[in-house]
Amino acid sequence: MKNIRSFIAIPLAPDVNRNATRMLQRLSQSSDGIKWVPTDNLHLTLKFLGDVDNTEVPDVCNVIHRICSHQSPFHLKFGGTGGFPSLERPRILYAGVDDASGALTEIVAQLETSLAELGFKQEPRDYIPHLALGRTRSASRLASSDVMERLAAEENSELGGMLVDSLQLVASFLDKSGPTYQVMDTIPLDS
């Protein structure tokens, strides 16, 4: 048995990814104290699973397949910026996601409930759609005023829209240069 650090995500459309990469280039500076997401790793996380025993991966895939089989493709728009837990004291910096149909939020709610039945911990906070761009390097550290000014300058930036037609189960492998991702399964939405 082997544990695989895993998460469920939506891959970004090429134009959204390109625009998010440009935003990251405008935001990031090497000595700003933020661990920026490598542009090759940009994705929309729906649920971080943590370490998953490899024997449980088929059960996780079955849950995702069941949820996706009842969901039609839907549109998302990306743009603006924000921070968690708040913009005044952010530890996570993000680009906004507009889930006008509510489909994304509904999928995440179904994933939370169904995966809890398999023993995965439910997220205690309500899901707020966002595209993570970076995080402060330690929990006690806040983003500098320079970083916050650059983030504020992007608050009206639009990254584009995309049709979501699949979810992915992704493995994350950590090494000295940072995480690398490997898609374990791509699950199409009901079309």
9-23, 28-42, 115-129: least confidently modelled range: 28-42
CATH number, residue 144: 3.90.1140.10
Given pLDDT bands bounded at 50, 70 and 90, which one contains residue 148?
confident
3-state SS class at 39: helix
Task: Note whether 48 and 5 are within 8 A (CB).
Answer: no
Helix (H) or strand (E) holding 104: helix 103-116
**What is residue 44's three-state secondary structure?**
strand
Tell me whether strands 130-136 and 34-36 are parallel, antiparallel or unpaired: antiparallel
Total domain count for the chain?
1
Proportion of the chain above pLDDT 70, given as a percent = 98
pLDDT at 30: 74
Give 113-139 pLDDT, tens digit per residue: 999 999 999 998 889 999 999 988 766
User: Edge to edge, what strands does the sheet with 158-164 contain?
Assistant: 34-36, 130-136, 92-98, 74-84, 158-164
Distances in whole angstroms, Cα of residue 51 to Cα of each of 56, 72, 86, 177: 10, 30, 28, 20
Look up residue 121 and give its two tokens: 């911990």
User: Quick check: 13 pLDDT over 80?
Assistant: yes
Give the highest mean pLDDT range of 14-18, 136-140, 148-152: 14-18
**pLDDT range class, residue 8, cuts 50, 70, 90:** very high
Domain that holds residue 132: 3-188
pLDDT for residue 74: 97
Asked whether the whole model's pTM tops 0.85, one would answer yes
Q: What is the pLDDT at residue 63?
A: 97
Give the pLDDT score at 171.
95
pLDDT greater than 90 at residue 111: yes
